[in-house]
Amino acid sequence: MEGMIIITPMNANPISLSQTASSWQGALPLSELALIRAEGPDAAAFLHGQLSQDVSHLGPSEARLAAYCSAKGRMQASALLLRPTEDQVLLLTDAGILPGWLKRLKMFVLRSKVLLSEGGLQAWGLAGASASKALGDAANAPVWSSQRHESGHLVRLPDVQGVPRWLWLGAPDATAWLGALGPLSSSAWSCLEVLSGIPRVTEATFDQFVPQMVNFELVGGVNFQKGCYPGQEIVARSQYRGTVKRRAFLAEVPGRAAPGQEVFAASDTGQPAGMVILAAALPQETGASGEALHVVLLELKLASAAEVITLGSPDGPVLRLLPLPYDMPSPDSDA
């Protein structure tokens, strides 16, 4: 059927979503995301020394992913970075972890000429044909580009299952134009986010993953040439010494799934083989048991990827792996 979205699991029958691609369109406010502002002459330099990304050379027309790691290389936050002006950097992150992260960042400002604050702009998710039409020429910008649009900042995100996506950041009183796009359901946006294969650290997964364990370097979230930041030695060692034994995978499962849930492999039911990173219900889709189908992005031992994987417990519902939207290196090429 023309416009049908097809998800093809590995070693399983395809799952076809009953909704057509034309119905995955519109706009919605993203309450799960919140903003940190870094302002001042040292804003970029300060964040350059704190994050996994090159902030010093971030330009006003681009957006970049970044991780904030512990000294042990575990991700305590992930963010989308914008630098609208020379002296301002915006960090769009998970709303649940923002208060603690902002407090920690402020501890390291010391004599740097930078002011860290929360909020001021609202994030909206835009998707599909109606958004593309409303955006006009701006819709055709390259992926991970940033531009001024309707008194805000428009970021082009990677397409998912053929559906184009954007993020718009603007003042709450400048959102009237978004009404013409029509409403986009939160479940549809969350589903697209999961299927993008791009991880987002939440309260449930705080301090759980080295970036490579969730494919964060594969989606551009780690710059290996930028120099020191907290956890940099661990992250670099994982990259160059072949110590990446876990990766992120996509899967679908009948029944509810949530970030932080453990998953189990059939060969070793005594301990978890991984953890759910993100999860979302497929709109209006149910499995053979009548339960709502969920798509999940999960961190999993590479050695367990070919086994039967269950959610929540060894006798929980079985996860069926789906193809990622980007290439995964073989274990040998991680070194």
Q: Can you spell out the DSSP letters for 40-57? A: STTHHHHHHTTSSS--TT
Helix locations, the chain, DSSP H: 43-48, 98-107, 128-135, 186-195, 232-240
pLDDT recorded at residue 15: 52
Distances in Å between the Cα of 230 and the Cα atoms of 74, 75, 121, 226, 233 are: 10, 10, 28, 12, 8
Instruction: Print pLDDT tens along the chain (335 aa).
Output: 333 444 444 444 455 554 554 578 999 999 999 999 999 999 999 999 999 999 999 999 999 999 999 999 999 999 999 999 999 999 999 999 999 999 999 999 999 999 999 999 999 999 999 999 999 999 999 999 999 999 999 999 999 989 999 999 999 999 999 999 999 999 999 999 999 999 999 999 999 999 999 999 999 999 999 989 999 999 999 888 877 899 999 999 999 999 999 999 999 999 999 999 999 998 876 566 667 899 999 999 999 999 999 999 999 999 999 999 999 887 655 43
Whole-structure pTM value? 0.93
